[in-house]
Amino acid sequence: MVRNPSNRTQFRPDDHDAEHFLLTTVVGSYPKPTWLSTVKELSEDSGAAFDDAALAEAYDDAARVITHEHERAGLDTVVDGEMRREEMVEYFAHRIPGYEFNGPVKVWGHNYFDKPSVVSEVDYDEPWLLDEFEFTASVARKPVKVPITGPYTLARWSFNEAYDDTESLAYDLADLVNEEVKGLVDAGARYVQIDEPALATTPDDHHIVGESMERIVDGISENVRICLHVCYGDYSRIYPEINDFPIDEFDVELCNDGYEQIDVFRNPEFEPDLALGVVDVHDAEVESVAEIKRNIQQGLKVVSPDRLTVSPDCGVKLLPREVAYQKIANMAQAAREVEAELDAGEIEVAAPQR
């Protein structure tokens, strides 16, 4: 049950001269400036003359730098690179009453994850991202997208010690996300992305994500663009069910496997807009503009140009910063060149036209 994908027109720049418009964006995370790690270490050193106010200023500076870096790369919508966040579940769990932390757990090799536990009914007592959004919007010249870790992932990637099952926990969390989104919308947010990487590993739970999305968008204006991002997995196990989700845009990670699954979304007809990953976030080699243009055209097998959003496969925080920037800059340039070629009738669109 698609919401109102035509709300994408609000993100078209006033000076966009091409007839066609491919919306360009990023999924969320971005490499942090190296000095930010040093600043955080200073803030944790009791002997350093570095207080919370100085740390907050450093986060603001980093967010400003990365927001402007996204704009310089040519993106139509920007994110602050999640400068204030370290891990996508932990960040929110620290802000939700009902969660507690009991130490890190090993996830693979020598890597550890500070996995939280839900020990009582979850609750919403204060905004999670409002300050982050308001600051980014105040320094950005382009519209700002807000990524939020979805309720299914928050539930699935936590120890559940309080609820009968993951489903009931996810629904309570979805109600909290709804409150958060309403506050962001009141503050001016018009593009919200719900991240559900856990669905990629447990696709049979797609009905939980679908119902969670229903709760998240309850009372949210159709002028607000709602995107759902699901990381790489077997998409055939959640499609065509995605068509019934109340979203405007579905963001997929297909570049890293050479678009082997692109045909999954061609039959039956894809209903929401498609946000297609066109650069590989797991490869430090920068794709050429020509290669990215070919990747963009993979999306035109599924949707018409006015329904295609162009983005990286996923967050780019694990890449060297200069590599992440160049990938995004090449991506934006490729999108503009594809638009020009579409205007000239040089590209054949295989997707159904509406």
Read off the pLDDT of residues 303-313 as tens digits, 9 standing for 90 and up: 999 999 999 99
Nearest CA to 232 among 27, 56, 85, 16?
A: 27
Nearest CA to 247 among 227, 229, 222?
A: 227
> Which amino acid, residue 190?
R
pLDDT digits (tens, 9 = 90+) for 334-343: 999 999 999 9
Does pLDDT of 62 surpass 90?
Answer: yes
Q: How far is CA 230 from CA 22, 38, 136, 152, in A?
A: 20, 33, 24, 11
Does pLDDT of 352 surpass 90?
Answer: no
Query: Residue ranges of the alpha helices (H) in 252-299?
Result: 289-299
Nearest CA to 256 among 329, 177, 200, 337?
A: 200
Burial of 39 (0-12, 13-18, 19+ CB in 10 A): middle
Tell how strand 273-277 and strand 308-311 pair up. parallel
pLDDT digits (tens, 9 = 90+) for 208-250: 999 999 999 999 999 999 999 999 999 999 999 999 999 999 9
Average pLDDT on 179-188 reads 98
The confidence score (pLDDT) of residue 258 equals 96
> The tokens of 171 are what?
């629904």
**What percent of the chain shows pLDDT beyond 70?**
99
Average pLDDT on 25-35 reads 96
Nearest CA to 100 among 114, 84, 88?
A: 114
For the chain, give every domain's residue range. Answer: 5-85+122-343
Tell how strand 273-277 and strand 146-149 pair up. unpaired
pLDDT digits (tens, 9 = 90+) for 72-86: 999 999 999 999 998
Least confident of 39-43, 71-75, 190-194, 338-342: 39-43
Identify the H or E element spanning 72: helix 52-73
> Does domain 5-85+122-343 bear CATH number 3.50.50.60?
no
Greater pLDDT, 243 or 106: 243
The confidence score (pLDDT) of residue 314 equals 96
Residue 348 to residue 305: CA distance in whole angstroms: 11
Does pLDDT of 49 surpass 80?
Answer: no
**What percent of the chain shows pLDDT beyond 90?**
88
The confidence score (pLDDT) of residue 298 equals 98
Does pLDDT of 353 surpass 90?
Answer: no
Does pLDDT of 134 surpass 90?
Answer: yes
Does pLDDT of 167 surpass 80?
Answer: yes
* CA pseudo-torsion sign 129, 281, 233, 105: negative
Mention every residue, 6+ apart, whose C-beta is less than 8 A from residue 191. 11, 25, 77, 143, 144, 145, 146, 224, 225, 227
Residue 159 φ/ψ, nearest 5 degrees:
-80, 125
Beta bridge partners of 230: 252
For every residue of 152-175, DSSP letters joined together read: HHHHHTSEESSSSSHHHHHHHHHH
Question: Chain-wide mean pLDDT for the chain?
Answer: 95
pLDDT digits (tens, 9 = 90+) for 283-334: 999 999 999 999 999 999 999 999 999 999 999 999 999 999 999 999 999 9
Number of other CB atoms surrounding residue 65 within 10 Å: 17
Q: What is the pTM of this model?
A: 0.96
What torsion, rounded to 10 degrees, do the Cα atoms 260, 227, 212, 28 define?
Answer: 90
Burial of 285 (0-12, 13-18, 19+ CB in 10 A): exposed
